[in-house]
Amino acid sequence: MVKVKICGITSAEDAIFAVESGADMIGLIIDVPVDTQRKISLEKAIEISKDIGSVVAVLMPRSASDVLRVVRELRPYAVQLHGYEPNSFVLDVKSSLHKETKIIKTAHIDLDGNVKCPEGEDKSSYLEDLGKIADFVLMDTVTSREGGTGMTHDWTVSKGIKEKIGLPTIIAGGLTPENVLRAIKIVKPYAVDVASGVEIYPGKKDPHKVRSFIKSAREVKSCT
């Protein structure tokens, strides 16, 4: 069964509703250096996660120690490195964490279907090398901003990346209750990730859309 991650949660009310509706993970966007109404403080994240199991801390850290501080205080299921962190940085983070804390690395895909590599990375080997380090790769749409664009990318590109690196994949970017089933059928991901597609406004989830999204994602019983 495909897992569902509801991202950009800003309140305990929305977090509890998402989990009770069947979400497998909730994403908390913590102190990222971008202008988004889905951003919350670490203190708020701790408050929201008190009664929640699989929390993903979405970060754009400057150092591995920044990640370690969040993990120590929040104790998330996973950390999602959502910037353009090079593989060497991802490896530093991995070496500083206990094995039970998973690492999700975002791969940014533009509207032309190109993967935007971190500066200094060899484009020919970036994804294969990442596949040896991270636990999951999350493929998101990038425009002039990273994440929360509300726009889809070419899912056949995501399918190709999945087949190339052999990691469990998470699809994000412009997913909605109406198109998530199609995305799943094309990519066959481990999980799907949604933020803007289930909102009333940025940072506030729509209960009907959350339920509808999860129901649609569950229509595909398994992806291999």
What is the per-residue pLDDT across 179-221, written as a single tens digit (0 to 9) for each? 999 999 999 999 999 999 999 999 999 999 999 999 999 998 6
Query: Does residue 161 contact residue 139 with C-beta atoms inside 8 Å?
Result: yes
The DSSP bridge partners found for residue 30 are: 40
Q: How many Å apart are CA 101 and CA 88, to the nearest integer?
A: 18
Mind listing the pLDDT tens digit for each residue in 74-109?
999 999 999 999 999 999 999 999 889 999 999 999
Comparing C-alpha atoms, which of 188, 193, 196 is closest to residue 222? 188
The vertex-119 CA angle with 138 and 132, nearest 5°, equals 45
Architecture of domain 3-217: Alpha-Beta Barrel (3.20)
Our answer to whether residue 117 is catalytic in this structure is no
How many C-beta neighbours within 10 Å does residue 114 have? Answer: 14
What does DSSP say about strands 204-205 and 199-201: parallel, antiparallel, or unpaired? Answer: antiparallel
Q: Give the model's pLDDT for residue 123.
A: 82
Rounded to two decimals, what is the model's pTM? 0.93
Mind listing the pLDDT tens digit for each residue in 58-73?
999 999 999 999 999 9
Of the residues 14, 140, 154, 206, only one is catalytic, namely: 140
Our answer to whether residue 223 is catalytic in this structure is no
How much is the CA Rg of the chain, to the nearest whole Å?
Answer: 16
pLDDT tier at 150 (50, 70, 90 boundaries)?
confident
Q: Give the model's pLDDT for residue 124.
A: 83
Query: Does residue 190 contact residue 139 with C-beta atoms inside 8 Å?
Result: no
The more confident residue out of 120 and 185 is 185
